[in-house]
Structures are given as C-alpha cells and as structure tokens.
Structure 1
C-alpha cells in the first residue's frame, strides 16, 4: 500500500473503487447496473494439511469479494511450488480450493504457476455487483453499530500449530472458521442496505478498522469485552513464541491513532492486532437495522457480535478500545 500511494492517481470515471481507500477489492463499472470486482491474494501454508490449506486460501480470497457485497464468478490459481516436492501435494491444495469455490458458485478457469523454494498458493477472483449495493471502507456513518461476524485469533493459533505446540485436533474449530465463507454475512448485509464493510485479515481487527474509520472520516469505539476471541487463542497468546510478528508490527503501524484503555486485558490487547486469515466481516450498521441484521445472521448460522460504535471524527485518534 505504501508503494501504491507513490503512484499517480488513476483518473477513470468508471473506476468506482481503487486502492486509495484501502478497500478489499477494486470495482470497475461496466454499465449502469453492473460492475466488476477484482482481487488477488496468496500466501504460504498456515496448516500442514494440503486440503485444508486450499480451502482456507480459497475462502480467504473470496472474502474480499464478499466484503464489497459482490457475487464471485471466476477464479484463477496463483501458485509457487518447489519442483522437489511431489506434485500430488499441489493437486490436494487445488482440490481443496475447488471444493470451496464450488460451494461459492465460483468457477476455476485457470491460473499461473512458478517454481519457488517454498509453497505459496492463492487465487485471483472476479465478481460482479450492481453498484448500488456496494459496501466499502467509506460507508461507515456516525451512529452506526459495528458488527463482527467471526471470532479473532487465527494468527496465534496457526502460529502455534506450525510450531508443533498444539495438535491439529485442538486447532480444528479455528480451521473450520477459516474455511467458512463470508457469503451468508455478505448477503444479509446487502439485503439490509449496509454500506460500510471490510474483512478482517492481515492487519488484524484494529488495523482494518482504522482503515475503515479513516476512509469514512469517522472514529470507532470498541468494547473489548464484546469482541469474540477463540478460547484457544486466549490461552496461547500469553506465550511470546505463539505470537506472530505482525502483532507488534501492526501496533507500531497504528501508533497513536489507536487508544487502548488500561482496563483492557493483556490477552485482548495482543489479539486485537492478531493477523487473521479468512477472518470475518466488520460491518457498520444503522442502529435501526442492527437487531434485524443480527436475527437474519443467526438464521443463516452466522454467530455475529455487536462490538462497538461509530462516533464523530475527533483529531488525534481513529480507534478507541474500552
């Protein structure tokens, strides 16, 4: 993102969403009622199971499209794979991804592979949307309530799993969350006219919330006691070896833009910047609609939490955690 901001600003009337607002995907208008949504994401394995990794990578890539309120249509593999490894491993990864794409109604149409020293996998995804339904980082409004659709803590759990400090069985509930699509949450949000949304990934809850608050020219206030965390992550985060380096890096990046009250526990403090893979959606919802949204999400088996509020812009900070 720092490099992109050094580039000349794109001047194209049909580019509805570019990189300036740090949104999850680009949106390009095709006609009055149709726009194309484009995104790409790939990363090294965070679990040892090739099938699980493929499912997680696909759900993670699709999430960017869902965060915009769009419907994914096609996907292309982005692969780095060592020639010394058995090609069947790659087959299992892609098979896992395809199973997730199929459940999303998204078609794998090709891709590109390079040789590398380690495995990396992800997808570029193209989706479509009526621009009137767009959800973006600029859509939060003062008075809105903030709703989070998945628990926090995948980074810590994945780090402990890779280090052999927990078993695959112990991590299974977290893996299930990472392989669960944000489709239902997105569809409910669009149905109720939500305009502010981001998905929680590499910058953690506070990092992505700050991008949304700044994009909307508002401030966000979170209730740390209302934020859902994986129980396993709360147990693991106190040990430094389980904490991804991105936790500290993101805190440094946020600087004084984030104020965290002394009453917030050390565990919550750490996990609020835990980098998520295939995390949930953070929705900014009109207060008059939030009860209906929570009911509809529950009906779709999405166990969401109301975690904060949008308040008027005050200089000197973007996020406060109480």
Structure 2
C-alpha cells in the first residue's frame, strides 16, 4: 500500500454495500425481461426473471455458458487486498450457479489525477492472483478515468445444464446451509471509519466459493445463491420468492465473524444494510427477534458465502424451506 493512502476514503460506500438498493433496482430492470430473442445464439436458461447470480445460455448438448459482471468501490484500504476481494466476489457468481470460471476480464475505474497508478497496478495484481488460484484465465479488460475508484471483473464460465444451481429451484422441506460466516459488512464499516484492519474479514472475503459449490453439487443441490450486498435476508427473500416457498432462519444457528457483534453495538452499520432490512421487512415474520439481530442478518456482505438449499458437509444448517405463506417469504426465530 502506498504510504498514507486510505482507499476507502475515496468512495462514498464500500464493496457490495454500494449497490443500488434492491427495490429500486428491480423497478429499473422490470422492463428488460422477455422480448424477441429468436435470432440470438443458444437458449437462455437463466436470465433476468428472478434476479439470479449470473446469466446461463445453453450452447450445445451438455454445455452451458455462465456469464456475469461485478465491480465495486474500495472495501478495504489495501489495494492488493481490494483486488483479491473483488475478484473472489465476481467469480462467486459463477460458482453460485454451479459453474466453473474459464476467463475473466478486468473492469477498472480510476481517478488518475488523484490516486497513483501504482495503486491501480496493485489492485489488478490482486485480481490476477485470485483468478490464477481459481484456474481462470485473465485476459485484458477495460478501464476509464473515474472520480471514484472502482474494480471488478466480467467472468465467463461453463456449466452442465443438467446440474445448475438456480435461485428458483428451492423445494419445501429442504434444509438451508450457509458456507461463510456473516459480519464483513459491519467490520468493513468500522474499518472505513477508523482504519482498523480485520484480517478475519479479509480472509473470509478472499476465500473462493469453489469447494463449497463443488460439495453442494456432489450432494445433489439444485438451488443456491451467494450472499452479497442484499444481505442474508435479502438474498433469502429473493430465493424464497422465486421458488414459491417460505424460508425459516434459526438466528442462533447463523455464524458470525469475530468482532461483528461489537462493531454492530458501536453503530458501524452501513446505509445499505438498513435499506436491505427495510426492503425485506414487509415480507418478514420475525416474532420477538430484536432489531439488532435483524440488522446483522441483513448486513450487506461483500464476497460472502453460498446460501444453499441442501446440506453441505462441514458448514452449518441455519434453517429450512417451508410451504408458502401469504405475504411472508422469510421467518426468523
């Protein structure tokens, strides 16, 4: 890191917490579903309809292409770590669909008159190292002069169309498994405000979801999503809505990173987290679960784990899918 430069201070928000709020986003893309695609190549298997993690196109018998793009503002001050986190986050969308990343291209916005290009090089180096760890080619990309630093990747992968994991394939009676602990949102908010470094959060965000996805597929999972900017409650709401079920979460079974509860108690809650909870609340039955617990469950994650409808050995079961209830998609107890 260039001495004295704190990347998080050059961004209005950090990581996936800077996403456009889910309610606003859904209204914007509502008119983009459907239309005449008769001349398009292949068959679109997964598109915009249910807001899944990536697009999937069948191009030949037994072969589907998985395509996604993801980028965001700095979530940590260290440029190399930010690049690693952003890369792991972008690759995760392919893993969440049951795919294998094949090639990625960089997406970089950089305030070239404000921040040294040396730092941009460190960001790109971090992304390259994680792509190499994933066995994914890195091949160029695109950059623009931007008042606010942004980095991510467009990733293309392959998948077996008969073994996809989709967010609309959840079925009643199936358990819910979470493959990474929550809490990076509040820890990142504290980091941005104070400069404190939380290695446990960096380790979680840079960990690939590759092995968790492989294990989920091996154990028959057909429904999953990754937990990122909309928080556990937001992504679970989308999964339950798309699948026509209600999801139950046992709050006491959800794992958290060390320090997350303390960061929450000291008020390090992002605006994105509060917007997540506001969006889900009309569809939420939380009984006597306190507001602070709900905020942690809605905490805007960056490069979070997989939320799998099914058991994944070595990871905690945090709830199950139940029959649908009018107006309720998520029950927290």
TM-score, normalization: structure 1? 0.92
Secondary structure at 1:3's aligned position in 2? helix
C-alpha distance in 2, partners of 1:197/1:8? 22
Equivalent of 2:118 in 83, 88, 97: 88
Are residues 1:9 and 2:38 paired? no
For residues 208-239 of structure 1, give each alpha carbon's deviation from its aligned partner in whole angstroms, at most 9, with x where no partner exists.
00100011100001100001112311111123
Unaligned 5+ segments in structure 2 are 1-25
For residues 234-257 of structure 1, give each alpha carbon's deviation from its aligned partner in whole angstroms, at most 9, with x where no partner exists.
1111233x1000121112211320
Task: Work out whether residues 283 and 329 of structure 2, in 8 Å CA contact, stay in contact via their aligned partners in 1.
Answer: yes
Task: Work out whether residues 209 and 305 of structure 2, in 8 Å CA contact, stay in contact via their aligned partners in 1.
Answer: yes
Secondary structure at 1:93's aligned position in 2? helix
Provide the residue aligned with 1:108 in structure 2: 138
CA 90–258 in structure 1, closer or farther in 2 if over 3 Å, else same: same
C-alpha distance in 1, partners of 2:43/2:263? 47
Are residues 1:274 and 2:299 paired? yes
Secondary structure at 2:56's aligned position in 1? strand
C-alpha distance in 2, partners of 1:93/1:266? 37
Aligned Cα root-mean-square deviation (Å): 1.2
Equivalent of 2:217 in 170, 174, 190: 190
Are residues 1:63 and 2:92 paired? yes
Provide the residue aligned with 2:233 in structure 1: 206
Provide the residue aligned with 1:301 in structure 2: none
Secondary structure at 2:126's aligned position in 1? helix
Equivalent of 1:19 in 25, 48, 53: 48
C-alpha distance in 1, partners of 2:155/2:169? 23
For residues 238-278 of structure 1, give each alpha carbon's deviation from its aligned partner in whole angstroms, at most 9, with x where no partner exists.
233x100012111221132011121x244322111110000
Provide the residue aligned with 2:258 in structure 1: 231
C-alpha distance in 2, partners of 1:282/1:105? 23
C-alpha distance in 2, partners of 1:191/1:258? 32
CA 18–218 in structure 1, closer or farther in 2 if over 3 Å, else same: same
Provide the residue aligned with 1:35 in structure 2: 64
For residues 54-100 of structure 1, give each alpha carbon's deviation from its aligned partner in whole angstroms, at most 9, with x where no partner exists.
00000000000000000000001111001122111011001011111
CA 266–4 in structure 1, closer or farther in 2 if over 3 Å, else same: closer
CA 70–11 in structure 1, closer or farther in 2 if over 3 Å, else same: farther
C-alpha distance in 1, partners of 2:132/2:287? 44
Task: Work out whether residues 264 and 292 of structure 2, in 8 Å CA contact, stay in contact via their aligned partners in 1.
Answer: yes
TM-score, normalization: structure 2? 0.89
Moved more, 92-101 or 8-17: 8-17
The offset of 1:11, in angstroms, is: 4.9
C-alpha distance in 2, partners of 1:118/1:22? 27
Provide the residue aligned with 2:271 in structure 1: 245
C-alpha distance in 1, partners of 2:80/2:33? 41
C-alpha distance in 2, partners of 1:8/1:38? 17
Unaligned 5+ segments in structure 1 are 299-303
C-alpha distance in 1, partners of 2:27/2:106? 26
C-alpha distance in 2, partners of 1:112/1:320? 43
C-alpha distance in 1, partners of 2:303/2:217? 20
Are residues 1:54 and 2:80 paired? no
Count residues in correspondence: 303
* 4+ long deviations beyond 3 Å: 10-13
C-alpha distance in 1, partners of 2:141/2:151? 11
For residues 120-165 of structure 1, give each alpha carbon's deviation from its aligned partner in whole angstroms, at most 9, with x where no partner exists.
000000000110110000111101000000011111100110111x
C-alpha distance in 2, partners of 1:150/1:8? 32
